[in-house]
């Protein structure tokens, strides 16, 4: 199998060869026809001079303007056809030109030279040329092979008043001599074309290897080095052409792949770390359990079931986080005021805190209502969990210049500023009471949903103590309409459209 470089070189050489052959063939054909037309004009001019016709008319023959031959022969001044033919043969002055005179079917006269001898010796040629002109009683022209020589001939019937004999003059020109320079020019052109092909091939081979295919070779080597244990290799970038853009696209893909693998590795490390504790606890209690003591068995069973429940919640949250991060949301126009009213209806059933909805933004955002509701409820659940019983919790939605804020404000222990950049990571928890219970994935899920909507989730201090969590979503300019699309249900709590 040929390499890409070799195939491209072959295509370029074939196209170049076809171009050279086409241009050379057209030029050769035009020059050949021009030379042949010149030979025909010369022969016909002598034919016209032999019969005494004027050659001043350019349209006297069909092969273009005839040559003007000085001293036309007047058959009326001759007493016999033989004398007229002798006078014609004496006018042979061209190189590679010969003539013979035929009287009553026999060769009576010929010019000096081997060409005329070959003409006279070829009886078949003489008979054919003579018959062609005498049949039409006009000059006839043609091409023949005589003794391995290609000739162009013209035969002219000759008649002299008072001489009853049938006479024909046959004049021929050696085409090999006439067209020889053209054939040599063609050979020179072929040699030059071959040199051009070799030069083009060498230059193309170097250019393809160093400039055009070099990025592809770098790409091949780089992709060959990529593995799960080595994702740092990148294609060298440079230039602005299509191949350079391919290299940049591959590097961007490798960046995404490396980031995805890093995320998976961190997730596996975190899961391994989180599962190690419950497994150790259950195994330790089972090893120390006294099977003969019913109370000890019941106590170990209770501890094991509790740890298994915690492991189940952990697996469910991991699965939910993976779903949130990988899911391609179906986006629509979400009425923020209606969403806020719906969340207000739902939280009144959560005991232990007085709930208040303070603001309702009268606007719309582009998003998935189920996912936004899921993230907002996760923040509410987090606030209820870490706020002392009986403390109020406020929530609402507000519109800024370019964002919609879905916020929850509690009055608990708050989150130290040094911890705020960590709480949205997997399995990270805040200090104080915020490290009690939970899997450490709730805020990571909220952050993933916010980023999927083109926004973010942030936390600030609540005046007087506590934390305020805000889901920031880009605003969709406009007011709510009556034709908002129905929400897409994705396995979470559905958003009703009939709220008051």
DSSP assignment of 278-318: HHHHHHHHHHH--TT-HHHHHHHHHHHHHHHHHHHHHHHHH
pLDDT in tens, 108-119: 888 888 888 888
**Residue scoring higher pLDDT (82 or 313):** 82
**68 pLDDT exceeds 80?**
no
Quickly tell me which residue has 């209806």 as its tokens. Answer: 345
- The per-residue pLDDT for 37 is 92
- In the prediction, which pLDDT does 65 show? 40
- Give the separation between CA 285 and CA 45, rounded to whole angstroms: 127
> How far out from the chain centre does Cα 432 lie?
58
Domain boundaries, the chain: 6-181, 242-324, 330-476
pLDDT of residue 56: 43
The average pLDDT across 213-239 equals 78
More confident residue, 440 or 293: 293
Helix (H) or strand (E) holding 407: strand 403-409
pLDDT at 427 over 70: no
* Assigned architecture for domain 6-181: 2-Layer Sandwich (3.30)
Helix, strand, coil in percent for the chain, rounding step 5: 50, 20, 30
Mean pLDDT of the chain: 80
Q: What is the mean pLDDT of residues 75-81?
A: 78
Strands (E), 95-196: 97-103, 106-110, 140-146, 149-160, 163-174
Across the range 309-332, mean pLDDT stands at 73
Average pLDDT over residues 38-54: 80
Query: Would the pLDDT of 431 be above 60?
Result: no
Tell me the pLDDT band of 426, cut-offs 50, 70 and 90.
low
**Cβ–Cβ under 8 Å, residues 470 and 459:** yes
Helix axes 123-136, 114-121, angle to 10 degrees: 80
Strand, coil or helix: 471: strand
Enter the tokens of residue 16.
């170049």
pLDDT at residue 194, rounded to an integer: 95
Residue 243 in 3-state DSSP? helix
In the chain, % of residues over pLDDT 70: 84
Pairing type for strands 355-359 and 393-399 reads parallel
The reply to whether 6-181 and 330-476 are identical in fold is: no
Question: 146 with 7: CB under 8 angstroms?
Answer: no
Q: How far apart are CA 175 and CA 154, in angstroms?
A: 13
pLDDT of residue 439: 62
Whole-angstrom Cα distance, residue 444 to residue 368? 18
Per-residue pLDDT band at 66 (split at 50, 70, 90) = very low
Q: Give me the pLDDT at residue 435, please.
A: 41
Q: So what's the pLDDT on residue 309?
A: 82
Please state which CATH number belongs to domain 330-476.
Answer: 3.30.565.10
Euclidean distance between CA atoms 186 and 24, whole angstroms: 8
Q: What is the pLDDT of residues 263-289, one digit of tens each?
A: 777 777 767 766 777 788 888 888 888
Contact 471/406 with Cβ under 8 angstroms? Answer: yes
Please provide the CATH number assigned to the domain covering 242-324: 1.10.287
Q: Is 103's pLDDT higher than 80? A: yes
């Amino acid at each position: 199998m040929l390499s890409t470089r070799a195939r491209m070189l072959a295509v370029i050489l074939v196209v170049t060869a076809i171009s050279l052959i086409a241009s050379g063939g057209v030029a050769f054909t035009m020059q050949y026809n021009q030379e042949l037309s010149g030979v025909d004009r010369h022969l016909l001019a002598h034919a016209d001079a032999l019969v005494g016709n004027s050659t001043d008319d350019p349209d006297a023959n069909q092969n273009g303007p005839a040559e003007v031959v000085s001293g036309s022969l007047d058959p009326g001044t001759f007493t016999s056809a033989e004398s007229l033919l002798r006078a014609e043969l004496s006018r042979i002055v061209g190189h590679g030109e010969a003539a013979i005179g035929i009287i009553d079917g026999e060769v009576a006269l010929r010019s000096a030279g081997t060409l005329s001898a070959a003409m006279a010796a070829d009886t078949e040629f003489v008979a054919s040329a003579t018959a062609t002109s005498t049949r039409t009683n006009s000059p006839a022209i043609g091409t023949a092979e005589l003794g391995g020589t290609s000739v162009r001939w013209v035969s002219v019937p000759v008649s002299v008043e008072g001489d009853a004999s049938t006479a024909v003059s046959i004049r021929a020109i050696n085409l090999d001599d006439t067209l020889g320079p053209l054939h040599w020019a063609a050979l020179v052109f072929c040699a030059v074309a071959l040199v051009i092909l070799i030069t083009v091939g060498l230059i193309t081979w170097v250019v393809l290897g160093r400039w055009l295919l070099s990025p592809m070779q770098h790409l091949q080597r780089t992709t060959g080095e990529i593995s799960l244990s080595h994702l740092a290799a990148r294609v060298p970038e440079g230039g602005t052409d299509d191949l350079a853009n391919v290299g940049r696209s591959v590097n961007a893909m490798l960046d995404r792949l490396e980031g995805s693998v890093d995320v998976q590795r961190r997730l596996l490390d975190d899961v391994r770390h989180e599962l190690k504790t419950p497994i150790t606890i259950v195994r330790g209690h089972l090893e120390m359990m006294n099977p003969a003591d019913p109370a000890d068995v019941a106590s170990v069973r209770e501890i094991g079931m509790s740890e298994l429940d915690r492991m189940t919640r952990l697996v469910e949250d991991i699965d939910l986080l993976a779903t949130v991060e990988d899911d391609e949301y179906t986006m629509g126009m979400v009425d923020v005021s209606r969403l806020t009213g719906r969340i207000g209806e739902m939280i009144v059933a959560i005991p232990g805190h007085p709930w208040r909805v303070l603001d309702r933004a009268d606007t719309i955002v582009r998003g998935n209502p189920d996912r936004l509701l899921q993230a907002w409820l996760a923040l509410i659940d987090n606030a209820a969990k870490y706020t002392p019983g009986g403390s109020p919790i406020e929530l609402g939605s507000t519109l800024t210049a370019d964002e919609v804020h879905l916020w929850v404000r509690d009055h608990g222990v708050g989150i130290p500023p040094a911890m705020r950049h960590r709480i949205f990571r997997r399995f990270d928890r805040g200090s104080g009471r915020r490290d009690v219970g939970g899997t450490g994935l709730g805020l990571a899920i909220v952050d993933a949903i916010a980023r999927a909507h083109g926004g973010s989730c942030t936390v600030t201090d609540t005046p007087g103590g506590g934390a305020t969590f805000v889901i920031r979503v880009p605003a969709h300019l406009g007011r709510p309409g009556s034709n908002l699309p129905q929400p897409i249900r994705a396995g979470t709590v559905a958003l009703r459209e009939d709220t008051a």
